[in-house]
């Protein structure tokens, strides 16, 4: 009799327990994930008076300025990704060969724990017209230049900030490669470079893709660095959104650009998605 009651109660008590967990978490999901996203989409589809319109999208797609800005943003994000990739891959590769590699990796990660406003601020000091880099260049007889507020300074600082986020996933994917595979490759007659090209690099592609994801999407939405280093110009999707929300107060168009950014993000993620599984299932 007792056992029967326990059995009857089990699902009920499990339900209660689940409800107890679901209430706070579900409320968060609803209020801070689903609703805000819906609001953003709704805003992009509304006029100032609250009527439905596609006008915001029409403005966006017919304006040379917006399209150029979007292209620019993608181009900058692409450059930042390439620069960080070029610097990070060898770093991750060499790090992985060190004895105390976890310790050195921690040192790579450490700068990311420092407030990035401060790191950006440091570059203002380094790159300003009277700053240290110009002083250094002056020693070589090069006249002081305006280094700050240029595309180059923007690329430099953005790449600087993003490097650890590229190194980490590549490092992890390299560390997961069985060292035996590199041995086997050498054993079969491949030299160091051939081993790198045919074995190591293909096997670390998952990490490279994860790194690209971790760098490209944030690079599209940068706005703080463009303001402080890139010289108050609207050159990324992120800056454009900030401009429309906080400066010109045109939330509807700002939301439209936000939706575009989300779409760009989804595209990037689907391109860089790991296809390893699909590949192995080819012959099922």
Enumerate residues 237-256 that contact other proteins by CB under 8 A: 237-238, 241-242, 245-246, 251, 254-255
Tell me how far, at minimum, the Cβ of 62 lies from other proteins, in Å.
23
263 binds other proteins (CB under 8 A): no
Length of the chain: 284
47 binds other proteins (CB under 8 A): no
Of 256, 264, 279, 277, which is closest to residue 57 (Cα–Cα)?
Answer: 256
| Exposure on the CB side of residue 146, measured as CA atoms within 13 A | 6
Burial category of 164 from C-beta neighbours within 10 Å (exposed 0-12, middle 13-18, buried 19 and up): buried
Under rule CB under 8 A, which residues in 187-206 are in contact with other proteins?
187-191, 194, 198-199, 202-203
Tell me how far, at minimum, the Cβ of 227 lies from other proteins, in Å.
7
Number of chain residues interacting with other proteins (CB under 8 A) = 117
120 binds other proteins (CB under 8 A): yes
72 binds other proteins (CB under 8 A): no
138 binds other proteins (CB under 8 A): no
Tell me how far, at minimum, the Cβ of 248 lies from other proteins, in Å.
13
Our CB check for other proteins shows the closer of 53 and 128 to be: 128
Query: 52 in helix, strand or coil?
Result: strand
Of 271, 103, 81, which is closest to residue 166 (Cα–Cα)?
Answer: 81
Q: List the one residue from 163, 174, 208, 235 that touches other proteins (CB under 8 A).
A: 163
Return the CA Rg of the chain.
25
CA distance 88 to 82: 10
Cβ partners under 8 Å of residue 139, min gap 6: none
Our CB check for other proteins shows the closer of 48 and 97 to be: 97
């Amino acid at each position: 009799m007792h056992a029967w009651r326990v059995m009857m109660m089990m699902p009920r008590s499990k339900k209660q327990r689940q409800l107890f967990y679901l209430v706070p978490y579900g409320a968060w999901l609803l209020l801070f994930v689903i609703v805000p996203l819906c609001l953003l989409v709704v805003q992009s589809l509304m006029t100032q008076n609250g009527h439905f319109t596609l006008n915001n999208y029409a403005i966006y797609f017919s304006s040379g300025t917006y399209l150029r800005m979007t292209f620019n943003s993608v181009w900058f994000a692409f450059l930042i990704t390439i620069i960080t990739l070029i610097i990070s891959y060898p770093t991750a590769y060499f790090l992985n060969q060190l004895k105390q590699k976890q310790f050195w990796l921690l040192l790579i990660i450490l700068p990311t724990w420092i407030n990035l406003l401060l790191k950006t601020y440091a570059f203002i000091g380094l790159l300003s017209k009277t700053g240290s880099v110009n002083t250094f260049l002056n020693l070589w007889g090069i006249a002081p230049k305006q280094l700050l507020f240029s595309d180059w300074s923007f690329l430099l600082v953005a790449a600087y900030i993003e490097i650890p986020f590229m190194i980490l996933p590549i490092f992890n994917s390299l560390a997961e490669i069985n060292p035996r595979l590199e041995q086997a490759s050498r054993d079969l007659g491949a030299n160091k470079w051939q081993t790198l090209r045919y074995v190591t690099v293909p096997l670390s592609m998952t990490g490279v893709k994860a790194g690209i994801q971790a760098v490209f999407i944030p690079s599209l939405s940068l706005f703080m660095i463009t303001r402080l280093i890139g010289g108050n110009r609207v050159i990324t999707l992120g800056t454009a959104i900030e401009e429309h929300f906080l400066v010109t107060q045109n939330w509807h168009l700002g939301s439209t650009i936000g939706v575009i950014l989300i779409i760009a993000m989804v595209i990037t993620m689907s391109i860089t998605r790991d296809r390893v599984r699909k590949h192995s299932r080819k012959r099922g």
